[in-house]
Every structure is written in structure tokens, then in C-alpha cells.
Amino acid sequence: MSALQDKYKALIDQANSAGLSNLQITEQDNVLYITGAAPSEEVKQKLWDTYEKLDPEFRSADARLDISVAGGGGGEQIYEVKSGDSLSKIAKNYPGLTWQQIYEANKDQIKDPNLIRPGQKLKIPAS
């Protein structure tokens, strides 16, 4: 097992036990790639939560998660804001999406994009 696989062992174990379809774990140029399709948005979010615990604010840039939701259909999703979240931090969970797109989709409840609060339920547009 490589140093990266050791570092992200909890995430890899969780991905293996979470029932992801088409799960692939590869390493290239000192970056660990984890791809697959989660059975639900909740499972996907739990994987992202584990990743964030292992690498707070995703600063190391030594792992990449590309987790879709099986049968996701590409429609709008809902995200519940957690303490410490920002629109840009939330957008990192959704490849191809920017904080501006999340802000635009939620202008009815966000007046200032720098002021979101825990417990808010934000619409995440299809990317």
C-alpha cells in the first residue's frame, strides 16, 4: 500500500463498503483518484465528509474524488449547509459547478454570497 493509500485508508475503506458501483482507485503522479457511483446522495456526501476530515479544506491536492450518484439523472440536488461552509467550498463537491452558479440558483434565500448559515438548504443545479 502506498503512502497516499495509507493516508486515505479510511476513505478507501468507506468507498469499498458503501456499495459504490464502478469503484476505481488509482494513483498517478502522486495523486490518488477515487471514482465511482454512489447509491445515494447521502452516501456521496458522507464520502466527501470523510475526505474533508482527512484533508481539511482539501489543501493537500493529493486526492481527487469523482463520485456520481447512480441513476442521478443530472437533476437539481439539495445541500444542507454545515458550519464552516462557504459557497466555493460547497462547489468543490460538485465537479463542473462554480460558487456563482450555486448563488444564482439560490438568490431567493441568499442576499450576500459571503453570508450563508448552517442548516440552510441550498439548491445545487445540475452541472
CATH topology of domain 1-73: Beta Polymerase; domain 2 (3.30.460)
pLDDT tens-digit readout, 63-119: 999 888 876 555 568 899 999 999 999 998 888 889 999 999 999 899 999 999 999
- In this structure, CATH architecture of domain 74-127: Roll (3.10)
How much is the pTM?
A: 0.56
Long-range contacts at 70-76 (CB < 8 A, ≥ 24 apart): 70/21, 70/37, 70/38, 70/39, 72/37, 72/41, 74/126, 75/126, 76/105, 76/123, 76/124, 76/125, 76/126
Identify the DSSP state of 56.
G
- N- to C-terminal Cα distance for the chain? 35
Residues forming CATH 3.10.350.10 domain(s) in the chain: 74-127
